[in-house]
């Protein structure tokens, strides 16, 4: 199936099933969003949509990744799913497909696509934010398997997750990026403790995850021992490709809703015009990235530009929302008011999560401008 | 054109611009005529405009190509977006050199018909003096106004290399011809589609601004690698690196809006591209000037030529500031965002 056909038949299907897919109520808590996500994933998987763009060996129906980009756009622009939690699939499934034992990938990936399971990504640690290669969560070889001890933080959706793609230190503490190994962990393994973090935007999306003598079978190793850095580096461009196209659709919808909702005179035309331009630029950039993925190109450092552009556009849109809907954001206590407030606050993190704005600029300077090492 | 053709075309255009460095605008016009650029502009508008104007920007070259784009786009507005600009003869460089453009900051037609009089206020290049009449876009089509009715003043201005002149005056309609009466293409008053011409001009200028900006970034990058302070190249300092990274982001953002303006052409897409390119050029000039520091402030370094050119191009057919505000006002007036690029 090609994109043109997919678009037409999917749009029709979404229209026919609008009532059953719509969120049950105005409840915008994370619990409600997760339940809605699972419902929409299941319905779209059963109808086949969610399987397009994924390889047949993991339960997919094949076809271009453009189909995944369009499905996420279609669901996001209809407000059926929250794009951040929806797009986790785009980051974690390719990693499993590329690095897991094929039988394991064939068993597990359909569960993620169908919404039966939630997965999380255990990368950051208290002492390892921007400097990912310094991670210290330790995995040691034992007869029973890897023995893992350590702590992760900022692990999105860990409290909902059945599995985790975990980065561990298997080399010496000084081995930096050479001594890292990735593994696929069952979150119900004995010794794992999850503690959600309360954040300023009100949804406990992130957690701390503690590992105390957790045993992980060797069959769950992703790639080879010591290859974890490559797993992480291959995963990161996925955070900045299909997932960002979904985000573009979300930002467009919210900006239109802001124009609809703002009282007369509340939006400064110059700032509104600039927000539109930034969104057009980001969307066009991201579209080109989707087509590079479609052509089978390997994405790399150039996706850091996409990431800077999405963060810039997102903050421009929600800065404008905070100005244009000042009364709502400051005083409103209804569900819609709370949503604008929460999304505005969340947008403050757009230049922090997924590689901070400074890290992206470091990558651009070193890899795209070829300015050499910075020390 | 396939990828190899495009590479060759790009190479030829760059060579033409480089070999005409420091020479008159009409020399580059002639070099482009030899390459068949005006024909390509008709048949393959995107590569012709994109590749040439980025090359002209990169070399701060000068020609009457913007005027040719305006004339071609105004005379042959396509009915559909994928139709070539025209199916007839290309615009000659002679005709282009006589064209009056809007003054910096303006985007309305430089000629205005009031009653039985046409009033003219705009700019052209010094080559206008070689012609008996100026070609003036108005709301009533393209008119030729005899030069003896117009005051033509040479200006030094911000970018002396452009050899600009201001053109001002008035003539009775009885003394004015419809431009190109011998040529069916321009024969009918009122057929000149100014909005389409403005859109194409904005896209061309945006490409030229991107070319200028990439050249400034290249100069600053080279300087950051060569200049040593505190025992190391200044390009190792994060403050310098982040300025240059920020610059590349701004330029690539502008390039993305241009891509959008070609994929789904519209007046609003062209204005977004022009505004984004203007913003990118200003951002680039600010960061690169700071990285180049002292040497970039002298005329021993070419940076100042690029800064001057960027600011002039920024003001032609609407600046970033005015286009951005207008866009916001349009969205508020209609209640609708402009259509976004589909996947």
Active site residue A323: no
Q: Which residues of B touch A305 (CB under 8 A)?
A: 248-249, 252-253
Of B246, B253, B275, the CB nearest to A285: B253
Model-level ipTM above the cut of 0.85: yes
Convert the pLDDT of each residue in B131-177 to its tens digit: 999 999 998 888 889 999 999 999 999 999 999 999 999 999 888 87
Average pLDDT over chain A reads: 95
CA dist A36 and A21 (Å) reads 8
Q: Which portions of chain B are predicted below pLDDT 70?
A: 76-89, 178-191
**Are the Cβ atoms of B257 and A245 closer than 8 angstroms?**
no
CA nearest to B337, candidates A73, A255, A133, A301:
A255
**Are the Cβ atoms of A362 and B245 closer than 8 angstroms?**
yes
Of the residues A239, A252, A314, A343, only one is catalytic, namely A239
CA dist A322 and A258 (Å) reads 10
Per the listing, tokens 């400074």 go with A358
pLDDT at B77: 53
CA nearest to A256, candidates A79, A20, A71:
A79
Task: Quote the strand ranges of chain B, DSSP E.
Answer: 111-114, 117-125, 133-138, 141-146, 150-154, 164-172, 177-178, 228-229, 232-233
**Mean pLDDT on A20-46:** 92
Q: Residue B254: CB partners within 8 Å, gap ≥ 6?
A: A281, B206, B209, B210, B213, B273, B276, B277, B279, B280
DSSP structural state of residue A224? S
Q: Which residues of B touch A287 (CB under 8 A)?
A: 341, 343
Nearest CA in chain B to A310: B253
CA dist A203 and A201 (Å) reads 6
The two most distant CA atoms of chain A are separated, in Å, by 70
Element (H, E) at B101: none
CB atoms inside a 10 Å sphere around CB A83? 21
**Mean pLDDT on A198-223:** 95
CA nearest to B336, candidates A265, A259, A261:
A259
The DSSP annotation for A289-333 comes to HHHHHHTTPPP-TTHHHHHHHHHHHHHHHHHHHHHHTHHHHHH--
**Mean pLDDT on A136-160:** 97
pLDDT at B1: 81
> Could you tell me if B123 and B165 are in contact, meaning their C-beta atoms sit under 8 angstroms apart?
yes
Q: Residue B207: CB partners within 8 Å, gap ≥ 6?
A: B49, B50, B53, B54, B57, B258, B277
| Beta-ladder partners of B152 | B167
CA dist A67 and A12 (Å) reads 15
Of A66, A270, A371, the CB nearest to B343: A66
Percent pLDDT > 70 in chain A is 100
Of B241, B326, B327, the CB nearest to A365: B241
DSSP structural state of residue B337? P
Of A277, A361, A372, the CB nearest to B236: A372
Q: Which residues of B touch A11 (CB under 8 A)?
A: none
pLDDT at B76: 63
Phi and psi based region of residue A59 (left: phi greater than 0; alpha: psi -120 to 50; beta: remaining) = left
pLDDT at B80: 42
Rounded-to-10 torsion of CA A302, A305, A307, A310: -140
Element (H, E) at A158: none
> Could you tell me if A121 and A90 are in contact, meaning their C-beta atoms sit under 8 angstroms apart?
no
Q: Which residues of A touch B262 (CB under 8 A)?
A: none
Over 50: is that where the pLDDT of A260 sits?
Answer: yes
Element (H, E) at B191: none
**Are the Cβ atoms of A290 and B257 closer than 8 angstroms?**
no
pLDDT at A129: 87
Interface check for A297 against chain B (CB to CB < 8 A): the answer is no
Rounded-to-10 torsion of CA A66, A71, A72, A76: 140
CA nearest to B242, candidates A349, A308, A236:
A308
Per the listing, tokens 């960027």 go with B310
Q: Which residues of A touch B336 (CB under 8 A)?
A: 256, 259
> Could you tell me if A217 and A170 are in contact, meaning their C-beta atoms sit under 8 angstroms apart?
no
pLDDT at B90: 74
CB atoms inside a 10 Å sphere around CB A102? 10
pLDDT at A106: 97
Which of helix, strand or coil describes residue B255? helix
Give the number of beta-carbon pairs within 8 Å between A and B.
Answer: 148
Over 60: is that where the pLDDT of A81 sits?
Answer: yes
Sign for the CA dihedral angle at B57, B62, B64, B67 comes to positive
CA dist A185 and A206 (Å) reads 18
pLDDT at A264: 96
CA nearest to B245, candidates A281, A310, A304:
A304
Nearest CA in chain B to A270: B325
CA nearest to B257, candidates B185, B340, B151:
B340
Phi and psi based region of residue B44 (left: phi greater than 0; alpha: psi -120 to 50; beta: remaining) = beta
Q: A104: distance to nearest CA of chain B, Å? A: 33
Over 90: is that where the pLDDT of A374 sits?
Answer: no
Element (H, E) at A150: strand A146-156
Percent pLDDT > 90 in chain A is 91
pTM over 0.90: yes
CB atoms inside a 10 Å sphere around CB A52? 21
DSSP alpha helices (H): ranges in B138-266?
194-226, 238-263
> Could you tell me if A338 and A329 are in contact, meaning their C-beta atoms sit under 8 angstroms apart?
no
> Could you tell me if B318 and B273 are in contact, meaning their C-beta atoms sit under 8 angstroms apart?
no
Structure token pair of residue B220 = 């600053």
Convert the pLDDT of each residue in A52-69 to its tens digit: 999 999 999 999 999 999
| Beta-ladder partners of B233 | B228
Q: B153: distance to nearest CA of chain A, Å? A: 35
């Amino acid at each position: 199936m090609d994109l043109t056909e997919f678009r037409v038949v999917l749009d029709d299907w979404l229209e026919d099933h609008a009532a059953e897919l719509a969120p049950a109520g105005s409840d915008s808590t994370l619990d409600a969003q997760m339940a809605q996500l699972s419902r929409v994933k299941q319905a779209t998987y059963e109808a086949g949509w969610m399987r397009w763009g994924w390889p047949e060996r993991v339960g997919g129906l094949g076809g271009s990744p453009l189909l995944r980009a369009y499905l996420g756009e279609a669901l996001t622009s209809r407000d059926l799913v929250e794009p951040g939690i929806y797009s986790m699939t785009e980051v974690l499934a390719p990693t499993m497909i590329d690095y897991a034992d094929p039988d394991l990938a064939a068993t597990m990936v359909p569960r993620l696509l169908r919404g039966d399971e939630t997965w999380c990504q255990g990368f950051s640690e208290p002492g390892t934010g921007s400097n990912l290669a310094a991670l210290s969560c330790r995995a040691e070889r034992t007869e029973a398997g890897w023995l893992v001890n350590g702590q992760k933080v900022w692990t999105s959706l860990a409290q909902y997750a059945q599995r985790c793609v975990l980065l561990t230190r298997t080399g010496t503490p000084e081995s930096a990026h050479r001594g890292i190994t990735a593994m696929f962990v069952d979150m119900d393994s004995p010794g794992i403790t999850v503690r959600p973090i309360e954040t300023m935007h009100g949804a406990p999306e992130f957690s701390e995850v503690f590992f105390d003598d957790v045993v992980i079978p060797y069959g769950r190793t992703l790639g080879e021992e010591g290859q974890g850095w490559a797993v992480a580096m291959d995963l990161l461009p996925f955070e900045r490709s299909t997932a960002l196209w979904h985000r573009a659709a979300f930002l467009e919808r919210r900006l239109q809703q802001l124009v609809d909702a703002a009282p007369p005179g509340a939006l400064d035309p110059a700032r509104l015009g600039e927000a539109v331009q930034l969104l057009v630029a980001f969307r066009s950039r991201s579209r080109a990235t989707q087509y590079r993925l479609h052509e089978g190109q390997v994405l790399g450092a150039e996706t850091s530009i996409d990431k800077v552009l999405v963060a810039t556009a997102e903050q421009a849109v929600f800065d404008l929302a905070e100005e244009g809907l000042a009364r709502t954001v400051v005083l409103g206590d209804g569900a819609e008011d709370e949503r604008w407030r929460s999304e505005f606050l969340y947008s403050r993190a757009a230049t922090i999560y997924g590689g901070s704005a400074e890290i992206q600029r470091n990558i651009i300077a070193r890899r795209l401008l070829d300015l050499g090492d910075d020390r | 054109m396939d990828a190899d053709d495009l590479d060759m075309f790009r190479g030829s255009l760059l060579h033409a611009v480089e070999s005409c460095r420091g020479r008159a605008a009409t020399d580059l016009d002639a070099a482009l005529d030899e390459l068949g650029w005006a024909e390509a502009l008709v048949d393959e508008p995107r590569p012709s405009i994109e590749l040439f104007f980025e090359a002209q920007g990169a070399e701060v070259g000068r020609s009457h190509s913007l005027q040719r784009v305006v004339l071609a786009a105004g005379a042959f507005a396509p009915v559909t977006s994928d139709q070539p600009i025209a199916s007839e003869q290309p615009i000659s460089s002679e005709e282009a050199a006589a064209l009056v453009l809007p003054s910096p900051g303006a985007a309305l037609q430089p000629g205005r018909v009031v009653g039985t009089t046409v009033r003219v206020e705009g700019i052209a290049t010094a080559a206008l003096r070689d012609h008996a009449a100026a070609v003036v876009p108005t709301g009533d089509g393209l008119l030729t106004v005899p030069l003896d009715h117009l005051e033509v003043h040479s200006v030094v201005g911000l970018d002396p290399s452009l050899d600009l002149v201001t053109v001002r005056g008035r003539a009775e309609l009885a003394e004015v011809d419809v431009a190109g009466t011998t040529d069916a293409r321009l024969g009918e008053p009122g057929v000149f589609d100014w909005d389409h011409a403005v859109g194409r001009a904005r896209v061309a200028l945006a490409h030229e601004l991107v070319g200028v900006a990439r050249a400034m970034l290249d100069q600053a990058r080279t300087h950051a690698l060569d200049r040593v302070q505190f025992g190391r190249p200044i390009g190792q300092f994060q403050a310098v690196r982040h300025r240059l990274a920020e610059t590349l982001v701004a330029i690539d953002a502008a390039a993305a809006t241009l891509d959008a303006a070609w994929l789904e052409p519209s007046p609003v897409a062209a204005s977004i591209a022009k505004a984004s390119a203007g913003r990118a050029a200003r951002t680039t000039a600010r960061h690169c000037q700071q990285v180049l520091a002292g040497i970039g402030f002298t005329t021993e370094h070419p940076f100042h030529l690029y800064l001057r050119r960027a600011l002039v191009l920024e003001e032609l057919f609407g600046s970033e500031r005015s286009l951005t505000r207008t866009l916001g006002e349009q969205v508020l007036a209609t209640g609708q965002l402009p259509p976004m690029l589909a996947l």
